[in-house]
Amino acid sequence: MTTTTGQDAASIVTGQPVLRTAYQQSVAAYWNAERDPVNIRLGEVDGFYHHHYGIGDYDASVLELPAGLRDQAIIAEMHRLESAQSDLLLDHFGTVSAADRLLDGGSGRGGTSFMANLRFGCEVDGVSISEAQVQFASDQAAKRGVADRVRFHYRNMLDTGLEAGSRQVIWTNETTMYVDLQELYREFARLLRGGGRYVCITGCYNDVTGGRSKAVSQIDQHYTCNIHPRSEYFRALAANDFVPITVIDLTADTIPYWELRASSSVATGIEDTFLTAYREGSFHYLLIVADYVGW
C-alpha cells in the first residue's frame, strides 16, 4: 500500500508537519468530522463520492414524484449534476495518456480522482490534510482495484513532497479557498512539467461589486474557509508562470443545482446563502484553465 497516512510518514517526506497552523488544524478537524448526508447519500448513488457542487439544468419532474420516490430521485439528480461538474473539469485537461501522472489538490473522498483515472487511464495522486478523507478515499481505491494507480496521501497541497516536474495535469476542485494562492501555485509550478496544465473550479468573490459581501462571509463561516477575490487567482497564476487559456463563468449553470438542493431532504441550511450570493453578483462559480510555461 503506497498510501501515506499518519503525521510521521508525511513529515518524513516533506520535512514539515502536515498541519502547520491553528487554521489548518481547524480545517482538518472540520473535514475529519464531516459525515453529511448531502455528500454520503449522493455518493452512494454510484460510488463516486464528491465534495463539490453541481452544474446544469435538473429534471423538474423529480419534484412531482410521489412521496415514496421523490426523495431518492432528487438525490440521484443532484448527484448527476455534481458528476457533470467533474466531467466538465476533466474536459479541460487536454491530452492525457495512461503514462501521465496527475495531482488532485485537496482530493476529498476521491470522486474526481477516480473519474480521471477511468477516463484517461492515468495515475493520480490525491493529497488532503484530512486523515479521515484520505482513509475513505484509499478504501475506495482498494475496493475499485485501482490502489496501484490512484493513491491518496495525508499531505499538505502547499508542500506535497512529490517529485518536481512529475505532473502533466494538476487540478483543484473547490479547495483553493483554504490556502494562500501564491504559495499554492508556487508548489504547482514546481510539480508540473513544462507545458503541463492546471485546471480549477472555484467559488470566488467579485472585485467589481466591492469587498466580501455578507453572503460570502456566511459561506466562509459555514465551511471554515477564506474565499478569495477573482483578481487574486489571476495575479497568483501570472506570478508563477501560468497562462490562462480558458475561463468560464459557471454561475448561471450552478444556480439550478442550488435550487434543487434547497428543496431536497439533505439541504444543510447554506443553500439560500449561495443563491443570494450568486444572484446579487457578489460571488462567481468559475472554471479556470491555465498552461504552465515556466520551464
Which residues in this chain contact ligand GPP in the complex, by CB under 6 A? 36, 38-39, 51-52, 174-175, 177, 203, 219, 223, 225, 227, 268, 270
Q: Which stretch binds Mg ion (CB under 5 A): 39-47, 60-68, 113-121, 203-211?
A: 39-47
How far does CA 211 lie from the centroid of its chain? 24
The label of the residue with cell 483515472 reads 117
Q: What residue number has its CB nearest to Mg ion?
A: 39
Closer residue to ligand GPP, CB minimum distance, 110 or 203: 203
Which CB sits closer to ligand GPP, 188 or 205?
205
Among the listed residues 177, 171, 173, the one whose alpha carbon sits nearest the alpha carbon of residue 196:
171
For residue 185, give the nearest of 144, 233, 222 by alpha carbon: 233
Alpha-carbon gap, residue 188 to 103, rounded angstroms:
9
Instruction: State which residue, 164 or 279, has the beta carbon closest to ligand GPP.
Output: 279
Residue 223 interaction partner, one of Mg ion, ligand GPP, none, beta carbon < 5-8 Å per kind: ligand GPP
254 is a contact residue toward Mg ion (CB under 5 A): no
Exposed/middle/buried for residue 267 (C-beta within 10 Å: 0-12, 13-18, 19+): middle
The smaller minimum CB distance to ligand GPP, of residues 72 and 217, is found at: 217
Residue 31's CB is within 10 A of a number of other CB atoms, namely 20
Cβ nearer to ligand GPP, comparing 51 with 151: 51
Q: Which residue number, 223 or 234, has a Cβ lying nearer to ligand GPP?
A: 223
Residue 133, interface with Mg ion (CB under 5 A)?
Answer: no
Nearest distance, CB of residue 109 and ligand GPP, angstroms: 9
Q: How many residues bind Mg ion (CB under 5 A)?
A: 2
Which SS3 state, helix, strand or coil, does residue 282 take?
coil
| CA-to-CA separations, 99 to 47, 77, 87, 142, 185, in angstroms, rounded | 25, 34, 20, 20, 24
Write down the least CB distance from residue 231 to ligand GPP, Å.
17
Residue among 284, 276, 205 at smallest CA distance from 247: 284
Q: Residues near 50 by Cβ (< 8 Å), separated by ≥ 6? A: 39, 42, 43, 79, 82, 83, 85, 86, 108, 109, 111, 112
Minimum CB separation of residue 2 from Mg ion in Å reads: 28
Of 36-44, 127-135, 138-146, 156-164, the window that binds Mg ion (rule: CB under 5 A) is: 36-44
By CB under 5 A, residue 39 contacts Mg ion = yes
Partner touching 151 among Mg ion, ligand GPP, none, CB below 5 to 8 Å by kind: none
Question: Which residues lie near Mg ion (CB under 5 A)?
Answer: 38-39
